[in-house]
Structure formats: C-alpha cells, structure tokens
C-alpha cells in the first residue's frame, strides 16, 4: 500500500463519520463526501437526495441512494446506522475499506466494502438534430 493510502487509512480508521452533535442530535449537513479512493471523491448535495433504500441480507447490507443526477450503491456489513445517518443528513463522509483491513475495523461501526456511483451521460455532449 502506498504511503498516501496508508496515511489516509491511519488518520481515519472508520468507514464513515457522522456530523457533530448538539444537545444529543446530529447537526444536518449540506453535502456528503463519497471517497472512492484516497485521491478521488465526490461531494453530493443532500438537497438533491430523492430516495434512499436500506436492505439487509444474511451476509451483507446495501444502501441505495438516488440523487437528482447520480445513483449511489453502498455495500457492506452492519450499515443500518449509516442508513439512518443519511435520513438525518448527518453523514459527513464515507469510504470503502479494502477487505484485507476489514476485520480489524469492523466493530460498533459498520464496514463498507464498496461504493459505486452511476451518473447519467453528459447531455451537453450529445448531438441533436436541428
């Protein structure tokens, strides 16, 4: 693992972070940061979140988020608290953890195996008939 990846991983040993709390409630945020790699992330505005779906299976959980122009799929284990965090706009950032580090991190907080972002084709680049 490169120094950048290892440093990033050591600084944030969790898969996600929720916003700070005031009087026991998380402060709602404007954006969520989806870290695909230590060198690439997306910021998506919560006010564009249209639908969220949480589904738990025997060996994994899935969270599907539909934003105005993006669809996000998060797969992992023990992700119910993360899904509830999205409901309250309290998720500050999320990142997937390589499987080889998963057992060391899994505990009270869930474990994210993958984050997939699907965005529509750029409509401006399509040719139109005049």
pLDDT score of 20 more than 80: yes
pLDDT tier for residue 44 given thresholds of 50, 70 and 90: very high
Using an 8 Å Cβ cutoff, are 33 and 90 in contact?
Answer: no
What is the C-alpha separation between 76 and 113, in angstroms, rounded? 5
Q: Which of 3, 85, 71 is nearest to 42 (CA)?
A: 71
Looking at residues 3-7, what average pLDDT do you find? Answer: 46
Closest by CA to 63, choosing from 38, 27, 32, 37, is: 32
Q: Which two tokens stand for residue 95?
A: 């990142």
For residues 59-84, average pLDDT: 94
Cβ atoms of 94 and 74 within 8 Å: the answer is yes
**Mean pLDDT of the region 29-58:** 94
Instruction: For the chain, give the mean pLDDT.
Output: 81
Per-residue pLDDT at 59: 87
Which residues partner with 52 through β-bridges? 65
Q: If you search the block for the tokens 């284990």, which residue do you land on?
A: 77
Question: Distance (Å, rounded) from C-alpha 20 to C-alpha 22?
Answer: 7
For 67-79, the pLDDT digits (tens) are 999 999 999 999 9
């Amino acid at each position: 693992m490169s120094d950048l990846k290892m440093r990033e991983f050591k600084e944030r040993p969790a898969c996600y972070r929720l916003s700070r709390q005031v009087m026991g409630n998380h402060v709602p945020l404007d954006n969520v940061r989806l870290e695909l790699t230590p060198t690439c992330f997306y910021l998506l505005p919560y006010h564009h979140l249209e639908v969220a779906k949480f589904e738990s299976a025997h060996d994994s959980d899935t969270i599907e988020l539909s934003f105005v122009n993006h669809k996000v799929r998060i797969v992992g284990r023990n992700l119910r608290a993360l899904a509830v965090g999205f409901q309250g706009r309290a998720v500050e950032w999320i990142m997937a953890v390589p499987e080889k580090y998963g057992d060391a991190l899994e505990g009270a907080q869930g474990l994210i195996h993958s984050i997939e972002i699907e965005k529509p084709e750029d409509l401006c680049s399509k040719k139109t008939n005049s």
